[in-house]
Structure 1
Amino acid sequence: MSQLLVGLLWLLHWLPFGALARVGSGLGVLLYVFAGARRHVASTNIRLCFPELDEAERTRLVKAHFRLLGRSFIDRGVLWWGSRERLERFIRVEGLEHVEALRAEGRPVILLAPHFVGLDAGGVAITMRFDIVSIYARQKDPVFDRWIHHGRSRFGDQLLLARDEGVRPTVKALKAGRPFYYLPDMNFRTRDAIFAPFFGVQAWTITGLPRLAKVSGAAVVNCATRMLPQGGYLLELGKAWTDYPSGDIEADTARMNREIETIVRTMPDQYYWVHRRFKTRPPGEPRRY
């Protein structure tokens, strides 16, 4: 079945961008109807994060999210097999000068890449321009594992580390000049995390960003990928954060969540709401899902 799906993605990747977007949206409608467990997770997350919305508004937001989720799956064919020239048309980049200026100064760079539906497209755009270091989580399905790994490493000389390899290889790569494409906004099972507010809800949050920034001397740059209405993506790179890290782990981790929250509010349908972001709860709090 996995091989058939990969074959279908290969066939579809030849379609024009607009047609790909329509096919992906249609897939998202089917996912919304049949993926009841994930629909429940997304609905719960959006209810917790946007309590000001009424039920009809939340439902519209969940449906929009699933349409974009479907598009992101179909678009992987372009990311895996599209030519460099086509990918340059598919994924536009703004703010690249901020990263280039930091690298020219010899400053290590951490690209804070929150989990938006366009995350993989942004990663491909970055690897077309820099040799980076990133964390790669092996997929359960060996067929999709092969192709996802291929998509993230097909350009340049990319360093993909397993999560259990620790921080030393990452710090070494940062100091050697590789930007770190960092995705820390999930509910990972780790002791190196604390509860920090995210949309006013306590979220189990990795403290790696301030720790890595401190030990490597790296600047932190927001790196968010926006899916465009008619097909394709826009990768937006921000200016380096100032006064970071401050030395206060709790304050610095909370700041990371606030930065991500600010970006989410500009495209609330594009955050990866199907993840159980609030699965781990403080002592005494009930389960959220």
Structure 2
Amino acid sequence: MNFLRTQTNYLEGTILLIRIGVFIFWLIHFLPFRVIVAIGNGLGTLLYPLAGERRKVGMINLALCFPDMSDAVRRKLVREHFKVFCRSLIERSILWWSSADRILGLIRVEGVEHFEAIKDKPSILLMPHFVGMDIGGQWVALHTDGVSMYANQKNRYLTELLLKKRGRFRHQHLYSRQQGLRPILKCIRAGRPFFYLPDQDQGVKDGAFIPFFGVPAATMTSVPRIAQMTGARVVPCVTRLLPGGEGYVLTFYPAWENYPSGDDIADTRRVNEFIEQRVQEIPEQYFWLHKRFKTRPEGAPPLYPK
């Protein structure tokens, strides 16, 4: 009985702390944008020396992807990444609580004609893990009813909060990974763009080892398979954070021609090649803190310390 009471008190205390954190997060969105940017940069500067494990992951990823880069340059890049990563977290307060006019006023869009060409048609908006991905997602949500997949958080309150904030504009269809692809395929066929993040290590059960900067990376082959099943056009898009109070640039790229080709491996390699090209343009804004190469080919040694 004492154990149960202790666990209950712990959970209640955790939920209270989370709610206090969310309240502070809500207050932040009232601040001027330049101040919010400064808070994010400052938080990243403070977190860099403290988050030793994630800092090591970032350094390992950079060493694998850019073997010719010096350690000094890698350290500088990881330090800059912590700043833009924390910026993106803090600036979500704007996405979650600010008006549509404020959000749209911060985003400059390039290649909007590529979005308009597939709007209300079966399509996949290919959004790799750059720190500005949620900003691009919110712009899309302000312009059309879309569909996306989410992962349940350990805390139910956080899961419900994330769902509420991601679906605050228009009519967004959000499905958990546990619900599978069937409802998503139905939405795509109905003309709702699928906001898809293709570049995290989820094993090779539904994928394959595809080179990413020359390193075998467990990569889902979902993009060509979903495109084949639904007739969807694939339109890549990337959002980059601008310095200071300048906001963001969301870039839509032309829909891929001759895609899918019928070769899932070659088509998935095309996804990784696109991401490689964008990473070389804004390397500090790619999500280096994820263990992208955690799943290894049979017999290959692990790349990250346990």
Whether TM-score is above 0.5 comes out as: yes
Partner of 1:267: 282
Matched, 1:119 2:133: yes
Matched, 1:140 2:157: no
Matched, 1:242 2:257: yes
**Which whole-Å CA distance do the structure 2 matches of 1:234 and 1:2 have between them?**
31
TM-score, normalised via structure 1 length: 0.96
**Which whole-Å CA distance do the structure 1 matches of 2:78 and 2:55 have between them?**
8
Q: Which amino acid aligns with 2:276?
A: E
Larger Rg: 2
**Which whole-Å CA distance do the structure 1 matches of 2:161 and 2:244 have between them?**
26
Q: 1:286 to 1:253 in 2, by over 3 A?
A: same
Matched, 1:151 2:158: no
Partner of 1:176: 190
Matched, 1:186 2:186: no
Q: Could you tell me how far 1:141 is from its partner in structure 2?
A: 2.7
The CA RMSD measured in Å over matched residues stands at: 1.3
Q: Which amino acid aligns with 2:287?
A: Y
**Which whole-Å CA distance do the structure 2 matches of 1:50 and 1:4 have between them?**
41
Partner of 1:15: 31
Q: For 1:26-37, what aligned pairs fall within 5 Å after superposition?
A: 26-37=42-53
Q: Could you tell me how far 1:151 is from its partner in structure 2?
A: 2.1
Counterpart selection for 1:43 from 59, 63, 69: 59
Matched, 1:3 2:3: no
Contact 2:204 2:218 in 1 (8 A): no
Deviations 1:177-211 (A, max 9, x none): 10000012100145111000001110000000000
Q: For 1:49-60, what aligned pairs fall within 5 Å after superposition?
A: 49-60=65-76
TM-score, normalised via structure 2 length: 0.91
**Which whole-Å CA distance do the structure 2 matches of 1:151 and 1:20 have between them?**
19
**Which whole-Å CA distance do the structure 2 matches of 1:179 and 1:219 have between them?**
9
Identity of aligned residues (%): 49
Unaligned segments of structure 2, at least 5 residues:
1-16
Q: Could you tell me how far 1:31 is from its partner in structure 2?
A: 1.5
- Report runs of 4+ in structure 1 exceeding 4 Å deviation: none
Unaligned segments of structure 1, at least 5 residues:
none
Look up the SS of the partner of 2:237 in the other structure. strand
Contact 1:98 1:238 in 2 (8 A): yes
After TM superposition, the structure 1 stretch with the greater mean CA deviation from structure 2, 277-286 or 86-95, is 86-95
**Which whole-Å CA distance do the structure 1 matches of 2:154 and 2:105 have between them?**
32
Contact 2:121 2:190 in 1 (8 A): no
After TM superposition, the structure 1 stretch with the greater mean CA deviation from structure 2, 48-57 or 85-94, is 85-94
Deviations 1:120-173 (A, max 9, x none): 111111100010010011112334323322221000000001112222211111
Partner of 1:97: 113
Counterpart selection for 1:251 from 266, 276, 282: 266
